[in-house]
Amino acid sequence: MNSCAGKSGLVTGASGGLGRATVLALAADGANVVALSRNAEGLRETADLAAGMGGSVITLVADVTDESAVIDAIKAVESHFGTVDYVVNNAGKQVEKLFLETTNADWEAVDATNVRGPFWVCKYAAEAMLRLGRGGSIVNIASVLSTSADPMLTAYTTSKHAVLGLTRSIAVTRTLAREGIRANAVLPGDMDTVMVQKYLEAQQDPGEARRQMAASYPVERIADPAEVAAVVRFLVSDDASFVNGASIVVDGGLGAALYTSA
């Protein structure tokens, strides 16, 4: 049974990585998707991969840091598919700098994509969900850095703490919850994505940094984005109808491993 069949919504940052994997997981389960990104070529590749999977996928080249573009994206979901059942806030930005090296421009760029944009997506989606009266699911992609920290990712770490707070604030808003509108966060560890690749390339020895990253996980590897997308799909689905305000960690046991063993 496809528990997302017929649901329609928005996935941001959909041109690759977790965003693309999420679009594919939802489409394979029968959901309709507006796939949003600034990267038109990447979006075309995502749409091509999703073709024939079951749900319909349309692409929208837009930037979540533009409020009017976010409003238009939510309207596009409703105009194309007749409803807004879910949104997945996946678009993200990293700046690889230590705290004392982080500039105001770095901070503002990360905040605009990782906090302000998701706030707008959540707000305008929730308004549409309330008006349409079908409930809905808001899924925000946070991070294991929502509850820990990386000295090379000061602005990113702070932004992902904010995403967790935003998610919880929405979840406990009774005017939404009593209408069946849920908000949950997914906290992935490292995934094999362009963002992680760029982070590794910023290190002194990228090859050694990759080896150490994998070795820090009990499973001795980082995640395939599809493994995280499966959790997102669950949260969108009717199977998660009583899951609200949750922070689901998908990190291969990283957070549970204070010390490693043979």
- Residue 156 annotated to the active site: yes
How wide is the angle at C-alpha 40 spanned by C-alphas 155 and 95, nearest 5°? 15
- Looking at 156, 199, 217, 259, which residue is catalytic? 156
Contacts of 117 (CB under 8 A, 6+ apart): 12, 64, 65, 70, 89, 91
Say if CB 34 and CB 9 are below 8 A apart. Answer: yes
Q: What is the DSSP letter of 191?
A: B
Say if CB 142 and CB 167 are below 8 A apart. Answer: yes
Greatest C-alpha distance within the chain? 55
Say if CB 232 and CB 17 are below 8 A apart. Answer: no
Q: How far apart are the first and last CA of the chain?
A: 41
**SS3 state of residue 3:** coil
Phi/psi for 174 (5° steps) reads: -65, -30
Expressed in percent and rounded to 5, the helix, strand and coil fractions of the chain are: 50, 15, 35
* Residues annotated catalytic, as ranges: 156
